[in-house]
Structure 1
Amino acid sequence: MHSPTGKDVRLPPLAGIQAFEAAARLGSFERASEALCITASAVGKRVVALEAQLGVSLFVRRGRGLDLSLAGKEYLEQVRSALELLSNASLHQRVVRRREPLRIVSTPTFARQILVPHLAGFTERHPDVEIELLLSIPYLEMGPPYADLQIRFGTGSFTGLISQRLTHDPVFPVCSPAYLAAHPGLRSPADIRQATLLRCPLEPWRPWLMAAGVNDSSEPEGGVRMFDLGMMLEAARAGMGVGLARDCLVRQWLDEGKLVRLFDITVPSTSDYYLCRDASQPFDEVVDLFATWLTALTRNGQTSTY
């Protein structure tokens, strides 16, 4: 090995240096072997090899005990300084590689149906990012006071936020196979008023009823009113009635046969999911990494691959 100055430099093996330092500190090869978890013979061989490379005797042997030679005393001072520097450098590297926090606030349904099932795809690629996932309530506009990123449901116009649309799915009615079997009269859109229409203010019925040409296109009355899309879809899956759904939220349940789609009529959604960040927030590499990943995930999801 050559140094930058062109001199021939052969560095002693670290194992030999550690064996020498332990033997000098503890006074025998036996005690050094216990500290290093190797045999006393291995300690002795490493020290002998180190002495041969340096061309000096580091110890004066006296039975089972050891005394440092003059050269050994000088070398020990140098070795301890070098080992301390190496130790400090390792500690410094561990500090530099600290985990990067990322706080995300999401609506419950998006978190449960889309984000959490795929989150491992991000964390496996970026293990140093520590994600903190919190929930908000869209209808009540309630959420934690601060987040690096927000996933919100609405029209995309959010005060003080830069928003990017993640989903854009049409809306259609669904119910459970058991509910459909118990209501054989649901043969056409005009028959839907015979069913129990599950209500959620985030997914109003009026646009779909008008598109389907149903005479009474007013919002349904009576029954349980739910303020979360996920709860409403769970109610549909449990056989409580017919709910309005979008592909990104129910694709898996449709594929598994837990929900069935009624009729071929769809209407554009009045609200979608948006990825938002504070307009005053400076650029952050970790935030940008997650935003890029989530955007790609939901873009693929529009081809039913959530």
Structure 2
Amino acid sequence: MRRRLPPLYSLRAFEAAARHSSFSKASNELNLTAAAIAHQVKKLEMELGVELFQRRPRGVELNEAGKEYLRIVERLLDDLTRETQLFKAQHRAQPIRIAALHVVSERLVRPLVQAFFSDHPDVRAELIADMVEPDFRSGNLDVVVWHGEIPPPQYPSIRIMSETLTPVCAPQLLEGFPAGMTMDDVQKIPALYDLYWDDDWTTWLEAAGGRDLQNSLGFSLYSAMIQTVREGGGIAIGHTGLLEKELKSGQLVKPFDLEIPSRKSYFALTTNEILRKPGVAAFWEWLAEATQAMDK
């Protein structure tokens, strides 16, 4: 016989009040009155036989017992949320939500997903931009394309692509140096960089034996940086894996022969629980085969 458990609405009221340290703020979040929140918390305390909060004139504060029980409730609600999302995904078609940095989503993930669609026209996907670190706790993401050296060991991973770093500029800018651009010339041209990858110039200059740059301009949007380079507004460190189209078409050129391997690669990450979703499993299997074919 299953023993009686505290009602879910009492647990939600307790968790919200604990997070906000306020019955009033918890009531706003849950669309209840503060009195209703206080009643549910008191009911839970009576059920447990222990007080969970210290009541104060300007709010409430968890006592030691409350802190201990909050950890239990948070784990319970997280598990329930995650399992509910998985259940829904297994019983109805939901889009695969794939997150990455904006430029990675635009230039790497989008072409991959479009190629995947040609083999799986019945699967839907959503691309989420500006995701830096993997975070699957909310249940809103299925795959994160992460840029780094070693993928977090707790996640299943697929290495999608490695790349090299080298300066790039517009052809018309390079034409201004008939004898070829030198390291001294680089000091006189605006050096452009992406704010997320602000150590790329240092990495390349160390390998090239160049001096630290003085004339530089950073961008939070990679596409804006590349547009500035194409217009002749400076020279940028290029991630060759993301600039294949511009380099092949001649919109951008490499003023130096030196290309250095990037220490970082692009990895797809997910969790074992999320791989239970049929659409994600299909995409994961396809991606593993596609990357193996690219490496050959």
Distance between the aligned counterparts of 2:159 and 2:104, measured in 1?
13
Q: 2:208 aligns with which of 212, 222, 228?
A: 212
Structure-1 residue corresponding to 2:167: 173
Aligned 8 A contact 2:171 2:252 in 1: yes
Q: Does 1:244 align with 2:240?
A: no
User: What's the offset of the Cα at 1:125?
Assistant: 1.9
Q: 1:130 aligns with which of 124, 127, 144?
A: 124
Q: 1:207 to 1:153 in 2, by over 3 A?
A: same
User: What's the offset of the Cα at 1:177?
Assistant: 0.8
Under a length normalisation based on structure 2, what TM-score does the superposition of the two structures give?
0.59
Structure-2 residue corresponding to 1:103: 97
Distance between the aligned counterparts of 1:235 and 1:174, measured in 2?
11
Q: 2:267 aligns with which of 270, 274, 294?
A: 274
Structure-1 residue corresponding to 2:68: none
- What is the identity percentage for the equivalent residue pairs of Structure 1 and Structure 2? 25
Q: 1:151 to 1:142 in 2, by over 3 A?
A: closer
User: What's the offset of the Cα at 1:226?
Assistant: 1.4
Distance between the aligned counterparts of 2:156 and 2:294, measured in 1?
22
Q: 1:297 to 1:238 in 2, by over 3 A?
A: farther
User: What's the offset of the Cα at 1:183?
Assistant: 4.5
Q: 1:149 aligns with which of 143, 146, 152?
A: 143
Distance between the aligned counterparts of 2:268 and 2:201, measured in 1?
25
Say which SS state the counterpart of residue 275 (structure 1) adopts. Answer: strand
Structure-2 residue corresponding to 1:31: none
Aligned 8 A contact 1:101 1:129 in 2: yes
Paired letter, 1:103? R
User: What's the offset of the Cα at 1:98?
Assistant: 5.8
Q: Does 1:263 align with 2:256?
A: yes
Say which SS state the counterpart of residue 205 (structure 1) adopts. Answer: helix
Once the two structures are superposed, what CA deviation does each residue of 1:94-148 show, in whole Å capped at 9, x if it has no partner?
xx9963431111221122112323533222321221112211243xx59894311
Q: Does 1:117 align with 2:111?
A: yes
Question: Gaps spanning 5+ residues in structure 1: where?
Answer: 1-95
User: What's the offset of the Cα at 1:158?
Assistant: 3.6
Distance between the aligned counterparts of 2:112 and 2:294, measured in 1?
11
Once the two structures are superposed, what CA deviation does each residue of 1:28-52 show, in whole Å capped at 9, x if it has no partner?
xxxxxxxxxxxxxxxxxxxxxxxxx
Q: 1:118 to 1:291 in 2, by over 3 A?
A: same
Q: 1:301 to 1:252 in 2, by over 3 A?
A: farther
Structure-2 residue corresponding to 1:47: none
Question: Gaps spanning 5+ residues in structure 2: where?
Answer: 1-89
User: What's the offset of the Cα at 1:181?
Assistant: 2.0
Say which SS state the counterpart of residue 245 (structure 1) adopts. Answer: strand
User: What's the offset of the Cα at 1:166?
Assistant: 1.3
Distance between the aligned counterparts of 2:223 and 2:158, measured in 1?
22
Distance between the aligned counterparts of 2:103 and 2:294, measured in 1?
15
Aligned 8 A contact 1:198 1:223 in 2: yes
May I ask how many residue pairs the two structures share in their alignment? 203
Aligned 8 A contact 2:162 2:262 in 1: yes
Distance between the aligned counterparts of 1:134 and 1:158, measured in 2?
20
Aligned 8 A contact 1:186 1:192 in 2: no
Q: 1:221 to 1:164 in 2, by over 3 A?
A: farther
Aligned 8 A contact 2:190 2:217 in 1: no
Aligned 8 A contact 2:168 2:254 in 1: yes
Once the two structures are superposed, what CA deviation does each residue of 1:57-85 show, in whole Å capped at 9, x if it has no partner?
xxxxxxxxxxxxxxxxxxxxxxxxxxxxx
Distance between the aligned counterparts of 1:229 and 1:296, measured in 2?
29
Aligned-residue CA RMSD (Å): 3.0
Q: Computing the radius of gyration over CA atoms, which structure comes out larger, 1 or 2?
A: 1
Segment of structure 1 superposing worse, 172-181 or 123-132 = 123-132
